[in-house]
Structure 1
Amino acid sequence: MINKWKRIDWSIVIILLFFMGLSICLIHSGIAAWPKFKGSDTRMLFYYILGFFVFFGILLVDYRILIKYHMYIFAGGILLLVSVLFIGSEVNGAKGWIKIPGVGLNLQPAELFKLILILTLGALLAKKSKLGLSFWRDIVPLGLVTMIPFGMVMAQNDIGNALSYLVILLGMLWVGNIKYSHTLIILVIFTATFYGGVKAYINYHDDIATALEKSGKAHWLKRIDPWLMPETASSDASYHTRNAKLAIASGGMFGKGYMKGSMVQSALVPYTYSDSIIVVVGEEFGFIGVSVLILLYFILIYRLILIALECRDRAGPLIITGIVAMFLYQIFENIGMFIGLMPLTGITLPFISYGGTSLIINMVSLALVMSIRLYGQDVDDIPLPSANKKLDQTLLKSLMSRWSGQSEQ
C-alpha cells in the first residue's frame, strides 16, 4: 500500500489544489453582482472537498475491475439517460438533471456518461488487433456504441455534451490504430456534413427557425445565430457572446484587477460563475491570467500523456486518450464560444466553472488515470497478433524449434 502511495503523481494533486483556489476565487467574483447565486463559492468548496475524497478513494481501485464489467456499467449509464427523459429537470432549455435528495446535488447523466463511454470504448478497443482497425468489423460497431448515447443526449437538447462523445470516439480511434484511409473517409464525411449544414442553415434560416420553434428548440437559434450569422442575429440572441467578447477584450494584457471588472461586476455577462467564468479571468486578469490558466491545463494534460506512455497495459493508454480528448474539447469549446470560434453551448470549463457533477466526474477521471499509473505496470501488454492464425502457429513452431536446438547445444 505504501508503494502505491509513493507512485501517485503528486504534481497532478498540486495542480488540482491550484484549480480549487482559482475556482473558488473566480466564482466569488462572478456571483458578486448576482445575489440569487450567493453561496455558490462555498458550495464549490464543499464539492472540491468531496471530490478529493472521491479522488483518493477511487485511485486505489484497480481500473481493470471497471474494464471487466464495462458492459454492465454501460447499460447502467443508458438507463440513466433514459430515466432523465422522464424524471429529469430542465435548466436553460436542456432537460438533463436528476436531483439527488439530501446532498443538494443535481446529477447530470450526460456528464457521467462521458466517462462511461471512455471506459467502454477503451475496453472494446483493447481487444482489437494492433495491426489496424477494420472499418466494418471494428469502426462501425464502435460508432454505433457512441451514436446511441449521442442521440439520447441530443434529445435532451444538450448539444455540447453530445458532441463531446464524438470527439472522444475520434481521439480513441486514432490511438487505437485506425488506418489513414479510414481517417480520410471520416474527415471527408465530417467536412462535407459540416459545410453542407452551415450552408443549409444560412440559406434556409427562416424555415429552420420555424421548424425549431415548432419543435420547442428555439433556444438553439440564440446559440447558433451569433456564431454563424452575427450580423443578422437579434440583439437578444447575441447579447451573451457580444458582451463576453467586449469584457475579455477590455481586460487587455494584465486585466482590471480582482473583482474590478466593470462588465462582470455590473452583471452584463450572464453565468459568470459557471459557463462564462473565463470572462471573469479575461476581464479581471487579462491576457496574462488566461495564459496562466491555459498553461496549467497544458501541464495537466502533459502529465496525463506521460502516464499513458509509461503504461504497459493496452487498455490504459486508450482510456487516458479518451480523458485527454474530453478535457481538450471542454477547454477549447468553453473558451472558443466566448471569442467567436465556437457556438454557445452549456459546456463548463473543467475544474474552474461552478458545477458539482462536472467537478466530481473530472476528479473521478483523474483518479482513473492515477489508478492506471498504479496498476498499469503490473501486467505486460497483450501479445501482438499476426495477420492470420496459420502464421501465428508457424512463428510459434519456429521459435520452439530454435529454443530446443539451443537447449541441446
Structure 2
Amino acid sequence: MLRMLKKMDGVILFVLLLLMVMSVFTVYSAIQSDPKLGNHHIKTLQFYGIGFVALIGIGLVNYKLYIQYAFYIYGFGIVLLILVNFIGGTINNANGWIKINDYLSFQPAELFKMILILFLAHVLVKRKNSTLHFWKDIVPIGLWTFVPFALVMIQNDLGNALGYIVILVAVLWIGNIKLSHALIALAIVGVTFFGFVKAYTSYHDEIFTFLEKANREHWAERIDPWLVPDKATSKASWHTKNAGLAIGSGGITGKGYMQGTSVQSGRVPYTYSDSIFVVIAEEFGFVGGSVLLLMYFILIHRMVLIALQCRDRAGPVVIVGIIGMLLYQVFENIGAFLGLMPLTGITLPFISYGGTSLLINMACIGLVMSIKLYGQEDEDELLMGEQRPTLLERLWSMVKKEKTTA
C-alpha cells in the first residue's frame, strides 16, 4: 500500500493542500459578519480531512472496477434523484437535499456528476475507438444524460443540471465524435442561445409573468442582471451589483485579509459558499484571484498529463469528464460575478464551503489518482468488452491449477 501511495501525483496533492489552506482562511474571513456561521471554517477543515481519506481510498482501487459496475451505480444514482423529490429539503430554492441530521445535508445531484462521468466512460469504451454514429451512439448517450438532467431540473437546480450537459459534451469530444456532428451541434447550440437571448429580451415581461405563475420567478431574477440589467429589480441585482463593486474595489493587491468592507459588512450574500471568490478578490485583489486560477491551471495540467500517459481508453474519458466538470464550475462561478454568466448558485471547486461538493470533487481526484496508478496496465477483458470471470470462477481456476501442479 505504501508503494502505491508513493506513486500518486505529488503535485496534485500539494495543490489540494494549498487550496485547503486558502479555503479555510477565506471561509473564516467570510463568516465574520454572521455569528451563526462561527464554525464553518472548522467544518471545512473536517470535510477536507474526510475528502483526503476518500481520495486515497478511491485512488487505491482500480478505476476499471468502478467502470465495470457503472451501470448499477447509475441506477443507484437515479433512485436517489427520484427519492429526493419525496423526502428532500429545500435550500436556496433548490429542492435537492437529503437531511442526514440537524447539521449535515447531502445533495444527490452533486454525487451524480461523478456517477455520470463513470457511466459515460462505461458506454464509450465499449465502442473500441470506433467513430460515434448519430442514431446508434450519440442519441442513446444523450438520452442517458437527459434523464438525470430532467430530474435535477425538477428539483429547481439549474446549475448542476447544466453541469451534466457540459460533462456530456466533454466526453463526446474525446469519444471520437464526427467533425460534422460536432459542427452541427455547435451550430444548434449557437442558434438556440442567440434565439433565447433575443426572445428573452423581446418578451421579457411575458416570460417573467409565466415564470412567476410557475413559481420560478427566481430564474428571471438570476437572468435579468445578466441579460437585461435595466429591467432587473433592485432585489435581483443586489447580489451581483455589490459583488462586482467588491471585486473592483480590491484593485491589484486587495484591501488585506479580513479588511474587505463589502464582505465584512454583509453587503454580499453567501460569501462563505457561492460568493467566496468575492472575498478573495476584495481582500487579495487581482493577485489573489490570479494565484487561485494558477492553482486550478496546475491541477488541470497534471490531470491532462496523466490522461496522455494512460494506455487504455477509459482513463482519458474519465479525466476529460472531470476536467469539463471542474472548468464549468470555475467559469460559471467566477463568470457570474464578472457579468459573463448568469448566477446559478454553483460552488467554487475546493474553495467554497459545502461538504457534498468538496467530497465529490475530492473523490473525482481520487479517480484521477487511480488512473495514474493503474492506467499504465494493458487493457483487460473489461475494456475489451469481454466478460470478466466471477470470483468463484477465479478461485476454481486456482484450485485446478494447484491440482495440476501437484
Q: Same fold (TM over 0.5)?
A: yes
> Following superposition of structure 1 onto structure 2, how do residues 23-172 of structure 1 map, counting pairs within 5 Å?
23-101=23-101, 104-172=103-171
- What is the CA deviation profile of residues 220-242 of structure 1, one whole-angstrom value per residue up to 9, with x for unaligned ones? 11101000101221111100000
5 Å-filtered alignment, 1:7-406, equals 7-101=7-101, 104-380=103-379
RMSD, matched Cα: 1.5
Asked whether the equivalents of residues 146 and 165 of structure 1 are also in contact (C-alpha less than 8 Å), the reply is yes
Q: Give the Cα separation in 2 of the matches to 1:353 and 1:5.
A: 27
Structure 2 distance, partners of 1:122, 1:93, is 32
1:184-235 C-alpha deviation (Å, 9 max, x unpaired): 1101111111111111111111111111111111111110100010122111
For 1:38, the aligned partner's letter is: G
Structure 2 runs not aligned, ≥5 long: 385-406
Look up the match of 2:397: none
- Secondary structure in 2 matching 1:31: helix
Tell me if structure 2 keeps the 8 A contact 1:312–1:381: no
Matched to 2:240, the amino acid is T
Q: CA deviation at 1:10?
A: 1.1
Q: Distance in 2 between matches of 1:143 and 1:72?
A: 18
Q: Which residue of the partner structure matches residue 396 of structure 1?
A: none
After TM superposition, the structure 1 stretch with the greater mean CA deviation from structure 2, 198-207 or 261-270, is: 198-207
Indicate the SS of the match to 1:337.
helix
CA-to-partner distance for each residue in 1:352-381, whole Å, 9 max, x for gaps? 000000000000000011001111112248
- Over the matched positions of the two proteins, sequence identity in percent amounts to 58
| In structure 2, C-alpha distance between the alignment counterparts of 1:101 and 1:255, rounded to whole Å | 39
C-alpha contact 1:227 1:343 (8 A) present in aligned 2: yes
Give the CA deviation at 1:6.
Answer: 2.3
**3-state SS in 2 of match to 1:59:** helix
Greater mean alpha carbon deviation, residues 223-232 or residues 124-133: 124-133
Deviation for aligned residue 1:2? 3.9
**Amino acid of the residue matched to residue 31 of structure 2?**
I
**Equivalent position amino acid for 2:29 in 1:** S
1-structure distance, mates of 2:259, 2:2? 47
- Alpha-carbon separation, structure 1, partners of 2:186 and 2:168: 13
Unaligned stretches of 5+ residues in structure 1: 386-409
Alpha-carbon separation, structure 2, partners of 1:278 and 1:296: 14
User: Matched residues in 2 for 1:380 and 1:121: separation?
Assistant: 18
Counterpart Cα distance in 1 of 2:277 and 2:308: 31
> CA separation in 2, counterparts of 1:28 and 1:320?
32
Checking the alignment, whether the CA contact within 8 Å between 1:105 and 1:357 is kept in structure 2 is: no
- For 1:394, the equivalent position in structure 2 comes to none
Provide the rounded CA distance (Å) in 2 between the counterparts of 1:306 and 1:176: 18
The alignment's TM-score, normalised by the length of structure 2, stands at: 0.92
SS at match of 1:329: helix
Shift in Å, 1:313: 1.4
Q: Which amino acid aligns with 1:219?
A: H
SS of match in other structure, 2:90 = strand
- Counterpart-to-counterpart distance in 1, 2:275 and 2:249: 16
- Corresponding residue number in structure 2 for 1:391: none
- Spell out, residue by residue over 1:241-292, the C-alpha distance to the aligned partner (whole angstroms, 9 max, x if none): 0000000000000000000011111100000000000000110000000000
Measure the CA separation in 2 of the matches of 1:71 and 1:100.
26
User: Is the partner of 2:337 in helix, strand or coil?
Assistant: coil
4+ residue segments displaced more than 2 Å: none
Deviation at 1:130, TM superposition (A): 1.9
C-alpha separation between the residues in 2 aligned to 1:132 and 1:381? Answer: 21
Q: By how many angstroms is 1:34 displaced?
A: 1.4
- 1:3 aligns with 3
C-alpha distance in 1, partners of 2:362/2:16?
9
Q: Distance in 1 between matches of 2:11 and 2:80?
A: 34
Q: Secondary structure at the match of 1:349?
A: coil
How far did residue 308 of structure 1 move?
A: 0.5
**Within 2, Cα distance between the matches of 1:99 and 1:74?**
22
Shift of 1:129: 4.1
> Hey, what does 1:400 align to over in structure 2?
none
Q: Which amino acid in structure 2 is aligned with residue 24 of structure 1?
A: V
Paired residue type of 1:303: R
Describe the SS at the equivalent of 2:153.
helix
